[in-house]
Amino acid sequence: MNATFPLGRPAGVRVGAHWSVLLIMALLAGLLAQSLLPEAVPGRSPAVYWTAGLLGAVLFLGSLLAHELGHALVARHRGLAVDRVTLWVLGGSTEMPDEPPTPRTAFAVAVAGPVTSLLAGAGFLGASFLLPGIAGVTASWLGWTNLALAVFNLLPGAPLDGGRVLQAIVWRLTGDKRRAQATAARSGNVVGLLLAVAGLVELLWFGSFAGLWLAGIGWFLAFSARAELAAGPAPEVLGRIRLGEIMTPDPVTAPGWFTVRGFAEQAASARFRTFPVVSFDGRPLGVVSLARLGRVPEQVRASTRVEDVCARPPACLLAAPETPLSAVLGRIGNRPGQDLVLVVSDGVLAGVVSPADVARTLELAVLGAEARRSAR
Ligand SMILES: [Zn+2]
């Protein structure tokens, strides 16, 4: 999410807010100052209503922040790194680079936000009994808003907190994290679609424009849940796939001892743009692309050997056949012309893994790991 502005580092956690939050605060301040407060406590000046409305909106933002800090602080207490907290139009998100290692930790982190909102709600409602007039009405509104926030977030579908709670419970019961993830994502899709339908009914049946808002949130949830369903199992599956299983064996190689001109003639009959370079005894030396060879000046092509211009490790990757795909995934494909992984067995080039091999494997993983095995 871009277009955020910093809100400081409460409790050592970096917090930012998206500009859309300002719009929501303005809408809430207007709602309080122009309709809720004047109806509940009539006869005050607009300045009084707007002061209370703005204060209410700021405290609402503080409530969202408290909810996210609930997640962030429990995560950090349990040893998970927390990148930052971002508030935006639909609430907030806490970015954690690592996944919770156990169902118990996942449960604690997920439930911490709604519990914070419940406590805040109870606190504001308690205060509303003590405070007189407009302050009491504002506190009461904040109390019910926080309770609604807690209940909404506990709906049992990912990516809502309730979905994470459901995921932790299924993970604990089945011991299968991947299945738990899929269950929570499927449930999130259903919850999102139900909200969208409820919102459309509210809009079309009762003519309430709040329904449009609910329908939007519902669509967003269902969309996010389906994205999780597609992406969720991949990292687990990729950890089980070995390079040796997906490599292209016996690739067309560039003999390192050939001159650039000599290999150019040979390359003309191959269908590839990038080649593994091998030594005379079959040892892999690096990777070379036609583009790289083309940058060798014409007059020295007959005297320059391929091994003198090829990209060598660490500019290209050498790996054993047992290496899991997940271990090299982030390191290939970012430099054109060097994007082959050389799979080396007993010091000899056994095969290569190209970006196309990786793309095919990822697409098959999304379809299900069985498709990969039966396709081979
Ligand atoms: Zn939350």
* Domain extent listing, the chain: 4-233, 243-375
Whether the predicted pLDDT of 314 surpasses 80: no
314 C-alpha to ligand 1 centroid (Å) = 42
Looking at residue 371, what is its pLDDT?
A: 39
Q: Give pLDDT tens digits for 76-118.
A: 999 888 888 888 766 777 877 778 889 999 999 999 999 999 9
Catalytic residue of the set 39, 68, 298, 307:
68
Q: For the chain, give the mean pLDDT.
A: 85
Question: Three-state DSSP class for 273?
Answer: coil
> Using an 8 Å Cβ cutoff, are 260 and 310 in contact?
no
Question: Three-state DSSP class for 275?
Answer: strand
Q: Quick one: CA dihedral 29, 34, 38, 44, positive or negative?
A: positive
> Using an 8 Å Cβ cutoff, are 188 and 219 in contact?
no
CA 207 to chain centre: 36
- CATH fold of 243-375 reads CBS-domain (3.10.580)
Whether 68 is a known active-site residue: answer: yes
Whether the predicted pLDDT of 321 surpasses 80: yes
> Using an 8 Å Cβ cutoff, are 179 and 170 in contact?
yes
Largest CA distance in the chain: 94
Segment 264-270 shows an average pLDDT of: 85
Question: Which residue is listed with tokens 């930052």?
Answer: 84
Return d(Cα 341, Cα 243) in angstroms, integer. 9
Distances (CA, A) of 114 to 66, 104, 251, 304: 10, 16, 55, 67
Looking at residue 326, what is its pLDDT?
A: 73
- Give the confidence band of 1 by pLDDT, cuts at 50, 70, 90: very low
> Using an 8 Å Cβ cutoff, are 337 and 287 in contact?
yes
161 C-alpha to ligand 1 centroid (Å) = 5
- Give the confidence band of 372 by pLDDT, cuts at 50, 70, 90: very low
110 C-alpha to ligand 1 centroid (Å) = 7
Return d(Cα 98, Cα 245) in angstroms, integer. 28
Looking at residue 375, what is its pLDDT?
A: 39
